[in-house]
Structure 1
Amino acid sequence: MDDLVQVSIIVPVFNAMETLRRCVERIVKQSEKRIQIILVDDYSSDDSLQVCYELAKKDDRIEVYGQSSNKGPSAARNIGLSHANGKYIYFCDADDQMDLDCIKFLEDVMEQNSADLAVCGYYIDGTKVLERNKTPDVLTADQAAYMVAGAGNYQAKGYLWNKMFKKNIILRGVTFDETLFVCEDALFCQQYIRLCGRIAYDATAKYNYISQPNSAMRGKVSKRNLSVLQGYDKIICCCQAYNDCNLTNILDANKMVHYSTLLVRIIKNYDKEQARLGQCVCEFVERDLHKMLKNKHFTLKRKLICLFSVTYLRLLKIITKK
């Protein structure tokens, strides 16, 4: 089988028994048949692993690996990479759906443009995400860094599932940071792009991202959610190689959006644990306060949300101590 594999498709799986069959059905029906499908169960508490084994019995291109504890999507994807035999690497989420020609389309974009990374457009819950303006067909690494940051005209952002990677470039030292549980995808993309010469982009939508009410960025804040803050520090550090102050400011603004989002979620779901995590976020905001107030890419509304939220949480801490 190894000699026949053109693309390795890696699917991290966690408590996805309700959506996994639908997801994998779209993968096995891809017009590109020379694929290796790697399902990595991240110690699910439901029957996801059993579903993986059932699917593998129906198609010998499917391989199943399971983790002995819940380590997060980064660790699951790294396991997938260690077993990948394809020339190209593609990542799919277990609750989403691909167009049936998604893999072949990205292959063609890659090869027709002699590119190191291929990027396509996407849908969110069936609605196509449109570019603000015409985007170049072929980008340089510094242009692609803006694309991953979601800046300017670019909507491709730092998602994994609208991109196809080359295995030989990943083997040059690009891995998923297993300390991160949020924005690990954007960090991976930025690290990968630094090793690229040409990045090919076609805005044709080939992937449908399906939002989930219990996703990592909804409801109560967990300790793992806070890893987004360290994650953005790492992304900014990675992109300093471009020596581009405007890009750094955009990435700083992205990080600050996460500050405001986390603070609002904490206040909405306030309890003792949220209070403790809220103080951690407050420390990050206070550390970056000067940069936040000066950053033109961070809206006044977001700045006010951060300032009022930090003040509110600090006051609550004082009041509850009395």
Structure 2
Amino acid sequence: MFSNESKDNFPVKISVIIAMKNAEKYILRTIDSIIVQSLPEIEIIVIDDNSDDSSVNIVKQYYDGIDNVFLYHNRGIGGPGICRNIGLSHARGEFIAFVDSDDFIATEFLETLYNMAVQDNADIAVCGYDKITSDAFLRSYAPDAGIYCGGNAFIEKLNTIEFVIWNKIYKHSFLKKNDISFRLPCYGEDWLFSFEAMFLAKKYTCTKKSLYYYYQHCDSVSHKPVETGVFSSIYDFFIFLDEFTQKQKSLTEKMISQIETNFFFSSITCYIAPLYDKMSPHERLLLRDNIFSRQFGQGALHMKILLDAFFTLYSYTEQSLKYDRRPESHI
């Protein structure tokens, strides 16, 4: 299939891994944006996560016979983390990239990041991204351009890095050497992977260019109702995070606290708040007495107080903004 082998005996430069779950509306655009990349020496690995729509048939119909597109199936426990691990087990690339099955990338995405990583001898290369809908631009993220160190120096950059996996490429040998994979099936699996990789990296390199398009739609995971099982997953996330930080002997207690605080408030914003905001007072009480007590122990009451205070402040601010936007009276 590929006549020339790149360094480290990897037959392709980049393996692009796609975890696919019911993506029939978007998967063609996603894969097409990878096929037309300006970097030709790549492979595309699609892992289907028990889809019950026509996603698999679409991939087979349109990409059968294309020798660098591979389709695998996750027959076990579902979740994007599980699927990406399957992809990693089959990947032959010098670098690894992850693209979500409803997103797409600029034509020069892979070539730009690959050249940066090779030129700067970096374990990870990072670019900016645009968050969009079908008819609107929502926001963009642009990291500070430059070459940076991992380890303790990385802690100073916590507030400037978004711990998503898909606006980056990772050196494959670096991931293998440090045994970096997805430890969770979902809910925070990408945060943990990205944080561990960036902390352990000797160097990572960044460009401000927006080369990844993070597509928002009503079918996306971020727009679906959050289930109470998320609390168990977030609890597991912090268990794994604590295990990782405790192994890093160079980290001080202050640094560990800074890391945990960063992800604690991220978890509230992304996962806990959407569920908690829709609950009745009775449901919130049950949540505190059951799920919170199991996951946070003596901290359950403090968690409830914090969330209640958060939404009280949020409601007050929302009402204040509505008041400020009222048209002026002409009486």
- TM-based fold match above 0.5: yes
**Which range is displaced more, 71-80 or 300-309?**
300-309
* Structure-2 change in CA distance of 1:38 and 1:202 (3 Å): same
**Which residue in 2 is equivalent to 1:32?**
39
Report the TM-score when normalising by structure 2: 0.77
**Which residue in 1 is equivalent to 2:327?**
none
Structure 2 residue 27 is matched with structure 1 residue 20: yes
**Which residue in 1 is equivalent to 2:267?**
258
Report the TM-score when normalising by structure 1: 0.79
SS in 1 for 2:227: coil
> What amino acid is aligned across from residue 243 of structure 1 in structure 2?
L
**Which residue in 1 is equivalent to 2:114?**
107
Instruction: Tell me how far 1:275 sits from its aligned partner.
Output: 7.6
User: Are the aligned partners of 1:221 and 1:274 in contact in 2 as well (CA < 8 Å)?
Assistant: no
Instruction: Tell me how far 1:201 sits from its aligned partner.
Output: 1.3
Aligned equivalents of 2:222 and 2:172: distance in 1?
30
* Structure-2 change in CA distance of 1:292 and 1:278 (3 Å): closer
Structure 2 residue 203 is matched with structure 1 residue 198: yes
**Which residue in 2 is equivalent to 1:314?**
none
Structure 2 residue 196 is matched with structure 1 residue 157: no
**Which residue in 1 is equivalent to 2:80?**
73
> What amino acid is aligned across from residue 140 of structure 2 in structure 1?
V
SS in 1 for 2:93: coil
User: Are the aligned partners of 1:190 and 1:239 in contact in 2 as well (CA < 8 Å)?
Assistant: no
Aligned equivalents of 1:9 and 1:263: distance in 2?
32
User: Structure 2 regions of 5+ residues with no counterpart?
Assistant: 6-10, 315-331
* Structure-2 change in CA distance of 1:305 and 1:38 (3 Å): same
Q: Percent identity?
A: 22
* Structure-2 change in CA distance of 1:72 and 1:82 (3 Å): same
When the two chains are superposed, the root-mean-square deviation of aligned CA atoms in Å is 3.3
Question: How is 1:70-149 mapped onto 2 (pairs within 5 angstroms)?
Answer: 71-125=78-132, 126-127=137-138, 129-131=140-142, 134=144, 136-145=146-155, 147=157, 149=158
* Structure-2 change in CA distance of 1:108 and 1:287 (3 Å): farther
* Structure-2 change in CA distance of 1:247 and 1:183 (3 Å): same
User: Are the aligned partners of 2:43 and 2:69 in contact in 1 as well (CA < 8 Å)?
Assistant: yes
**Which range is displaced more, 267-276 or 204-213?**
267-276
Structure 2 residue 186 is matched with structure 1 residue 181: yes
* Structure-2 change in CA distance of 1:286 and 1:157 (3 Å): same
Instruction: Tell me how far 1:271 sits from its aligned partner.
Output: 11
**Which residue in 2 is equivalent to 1:268?**
278
> What amino acid is aligned across from residue 309 of structure 2 in structure 1?
L
1:248 to 232, 253, 257: 257
Instruction: Tell me how far 1:185 sits from its aligned partner.
Output: 0.9
Q: Please list the CA deviations of residues 223-282 of structure 1 after superposition, one character each: whole Å capped at 9, or x if unmatched.
A: 442312321342244234242414523432431453465255244155999986565553
* Structure-2 change in CA distance of 1:50 and 1:192 (3 Å): same
Aligned equivalents of 1:307 and 1:288: distance in 2?
20
**Which residue in 1 is equivalent to 2:8?**
none
Aligned equivalents of 2:60 and 2:229: distance in 1?
29
Larger Rg: 2
